[in-house]
Amino acid sequence: MADHLLIRAAFRQPVERTPVWMMRQAGRFLPEYRAVREKADFLTMCKTPELAAEVSLQPLEAVDVDAVIFFSDILTMLEPMGLELTFGEGEGPRFPDPIRTSADIDRLSVVDPADGLAFVGDALHLCRERIAGRVPLLGFTGAPYTLATYAVEGCTGKNFNHIKRWYYREPETLRRLLEKIADQVTVYLNYQIENGAQAVQLFDTWAGALSPEDYREIAAPYTRQVIDGLHRDGVPVILYINGGGHHLDTMATLGADVLSLDWRTDMAEAKRKYGATHCLQGNLDPCALYGTEARIRQEVQRVLDAAGKVGHIFNLGHGMLPDIPVENARCFVRAVKELGVHG
């Protein structure tokens, strides 16, 4: 394992400055990404190692971030299990045949990623080769509850009535689905680690819609199952929940090394409560990057002051927005690198 700022920060070791990267940094705000996207649809980009590696490294070259996160989607790992995945223009991901019955769960299989997701391993190898040790390579996927939500709802939702109906009427059926997905997530992340990922992040996008009690009951145990099953010697695990500030007490018990905070969470309070045991990641409001250079630097300084010098990875509190000017993203990264020096 190379001596990377982000890896040391994740394990709460002293660093000479705060490392910085951005969720969704390989995406539509970059003209280089849009140029590739004009030639291939989203799933083709994910499944073509050459294209995935190309767009993964674009933010390293364009914005000078301290980590590369390989280009993919949290849902691609559900396809080999037996769920058809589509991405319609302007409508996001869809599963045309969602999981709605116990028999539907039976038809799902836990598969070897080397068979159904070999393109991911190839993309990771290409990324490591091209990064050439400059920064660490991050892997990722969705946490079991979020993946189950997509699989059951069939698309992005707001009320999540199908999966919550299962929770309140057939909790054991839902648990069977979550356990099977957790098994697949575990082998998938281990596959990423075996093929070059130097840190991994679990995105539990929809867990923020759960009450604290429901999160503890139905989502957290399967996130814990995944983290416990990882071959993580020297590989930190990052856990992120959008809108998950009310889950931090539980998140802190699940074995992750890094708690990633959204922008609605008080960084200073989180540091006080969890900073002795966890690195914290975040948590600038992505909309702050619409600001002037002076305002961006002011907001960066505010987060740095709250987070302190040990155990902090600077990031946005959610993903990069597609219409942020590239120069503003550069200004953000530059501000962290200049203001986050630890003298």
Active-site residues, by number, are 24, 28, 37, 73, 150
Provide the token pair at 5.
């700022």
Q: The tokens 């039976």 sit on which residue?
A: 106
Q: Output the CA torsion sign for 327, 330, 334, 336.
A: positive
Give the three-state DSSP class for 93: strand
- Residue among 265, 140, 267, 284 nearest 208 (CA): 265
Give the span between the Cα atoms of 54 and 230, in whole angstroms: 28
> Is residue 230 within 8 Å of 237, Cβ to Cβ?
yes
Give the three-state DSSP class for 121: helix
> Is residue 289 within 8 Å of 311, Cβ to Cβ?
no
Provide the token pair at 12.
């709460």
- Residue among 57, 304, 260 nearest 296 (CA): 304
Please name the helix (run of DSSP H) or strand (run of DSSP E) that holds residue 287, with its range, or none: none
Provide the token pair at 179.
């356990």
Q: What is the CA radius of gyration of the chain?
A: 19
> Is residue 147 within 8 Å of 207, Cβ to Cβ?
no
Widest CA span in the chain: 60
In the chain, alpha helices (H): 5-10, 31-37, 42-47, 49-63, 102-106, 113-116, 118-131, 144-153, 161-169, 171-194, 212-214, 220-228, 248-251, 267-274, 293-307, 326-339
